[in-house]
Amino acid sequence: MSWNDERVELLKKMWLEGMSASQIAGELANGITRNAVIGKVHRLGLSGRVKTPAQSQPRPRPQARAPRSSSSPPRSSGPMVRGNTALAFAPRIHEAPAPKPLEEVLIPMSERVTIMELKEAMCRWPLGDPSTSEFRYCGGKSTIGESYCTYHSRVAYQPAQDRRRDRERRMQRAG
């Protein structure tokens, strides 16, 4: 398979006519795949396409289905959004309350442990500068299989929604 000048011109013509990559690959044949067409279109910088009247008209909506059971949530009247943008356009029913500020836990030096003293059910939260002799780990009680105590787990594992909200607040302050 090679992209000679004749094939490239034919590809450009069919792309600008609004043919799909699959249709173009079928027309060009000889080992040209849909993905090869998409790659070539991208490399050529062909983004604009002519919209035919059939493409620009909205698709007819399917017939109404039987009523849903009362256990399922009602659908919104707006268009259905799918894929990775669905959450961005999802209606916000309610915002979660702002998390309570975490109180700093003061761990007495006598409870802090070195790496050699760590046991299975001890918190592995690092405290201090690892390059100094005073470096220790929290050593508080943790659930077996968990790395941190309750306090340090809340610090380490913030829900994505909280991280997103914090980032938005920082962006608002900066902008």
Tens digit of each residue's pLDDT, the chain (175 residues):
678 888 889 988 998 888 888 998 888 877 889 999 888 888 888 866 655 555 555 556 666 565 555 555 555 555 565 665 655 555 666 555 655 555 555 666 667 888 888 888 888 888 888 898 888 888 888 888 888 888 888 888 777 777 777 778 888 877 6
Residues 169 and 109 in one domain: yes
Residue 159 inside a domain? The answer is yes
Question: If we measure between CA atoms, which residue out of 39, 47, 19 comes closest to residue 10?
Answer: 19
From CA 128, how far away is CA 112, in angstroms rounded? 11
Q: For position 139, what pLDDT does the model report?
A: 87
Decide if 91 is inside a domain: no
CA proximity to 107, closest of 58, 141, 144: 141
Q: What is the model's pLDDT at position 121?
A: 86
Residue 85 domain-assigned (yes or no): no
Is residue 112 assigned to a domain?
yes
Whether residues 109 and 174 fall in one domain: yes
Residue 96 lies in a domain: no
CA atoms within 13 A on the CB side of 155: 14
Number of other residues whose CB lies within 10 A of the CB of residue 149:
22
List the structure tokens of 88: 């961005």
pLDDT given for residue 130 in this prediction: 86
- What confidence score (pLDDT) does residue 106 get? 65
Residues 41 and 109 in one domain: no
Cβ atoms of 19 and 28 within 8 Å: the answer is no
For residue 70, is it within any domain? no
pTM of the predicted model as reported, rounded to 2 decimal places: 0.34
Residues spanned by the domain of 30:
5-52
What pLDDT score does 83 carry? Answer: 60
Q: Measured between alpha carbons, how far apart are the two ends of the chain, in Å?
A: 51
Q: What's the total number of domains in the chain?
A: 2
Residue 58 domain flag: no
Whether residue 145 is contained in a domain is answered as: yes
